[in-house]
Structure 1
Amino acid sequence: MDFLDIIDIILIVILAVLILSDLLLAMMGKEQIVVDTSAPFTKVSQDENSLVIEKQLTFRNVGKSCGVLMDAIVRPQLPYEQYDGIEARGKAEREGAPREDDYFEAMLIEKKGNAKGADAQHIFAKLKFTPRNGRTLEDALSHMVDIVVDVIWQESGRMPYHYEKVQLKLSAEEIAQLAGVTLAKD
């Protein structure tokens, strides 16, 4: 056996290892995280200066390997050019792990059919409305407009990390009903 034959054998072994590892990873599968947004918005708190509402988002992993949510952001789309009477701030909060610093702590989402039986994780999309420009909360909410809320999260697993997003639509009527105010006819 000469030197070129040895090189050929080494290359064949390396190629076989790469193909076998790709096949093994393909059999193990990837994470596939889906989110259920069907829960309604509910009122958390209200005082004369603010209204806080939330919506439960249920995350499930229907894939074959574990996934991780590394970050989550709630971003209300209410620019001052659209309506300057209220300030809307959003925050994502893990179920059972509220934080005052607005930091989102990463969470593992087990694969479908795991031994622990955990099949869902909940995140709450929270929105805080505060009146602006000297308005009262009731006046500001009575002139409220429909808004869109982006919920953006970073997920990872066997696939490289990537961002996903869902959009929640929140009507002025729904906000007024949660706050107990009547919409103005203007």
Structure 2
Amino acid sequence: MSEPLSPPRDPADAKAWFYLDHRLDIETWAALRQEGRQLLDRCLVALSLEMEDLAEELGAEPDAAELESGSWPRVGLRHRSWQHQGLADVSVVIQWERARLLTASRNEWPFVGILIAETVQDQERRSDIAAALGPVRSALKGDMTYHWPFWRYVTPPATAQSLDPAGLARQAVEAFRQLWDIAAAVLDQLHSADVTRPER
């Protein structure tokens, strides 16, 4: 007698069977991710208007890039004094990777951070900023990479059953303000000291 074509379902394979039983529905829903990503992106891009209001309130200047197109849009602020060798090279920003939003991988979510311009080649400058922001990283549980002396993701609450894109954008602004309120004073002090330091 031949073996049956469909072996009995093993409980250990429950997740696989769930996918196979509902594959068409699951793939149809997953295909909507792109539309959700575009809506979230629009809500984040709209923060540029809020940043203009914040710039006036905080006596800062806006720093925005790639809002209409591009892979890494950002909105943020900086003080005019945050310069090195005549160039404004550091900002507090909200940034996101457009193509990866809502994808269960790296950069699924927007993040707040302190960005040092890619054009900065002065390693001592980078080290000074990173060292000054050490207490900020500790206080706000942030990470550090080469261009980012501080950054952390803005994620929806773990208990959330759905995602409100406007709500996540508001959350990003709250995280931005929290970072700005601590980091701006540190960067002001660093640049005040830098003004009195001889040219390197």
Scaled to the shorter chain, the TM-score interval is: 0.3 to 0.5
TM-score (norm 2): 0.33
Name which structure has the greater RCO, CA cutoff 8 Å, separation 6+: 1
Query: Is the helix fraction higher in 1 or 2?
Result: 2
TM-score (norm 1): 0.34
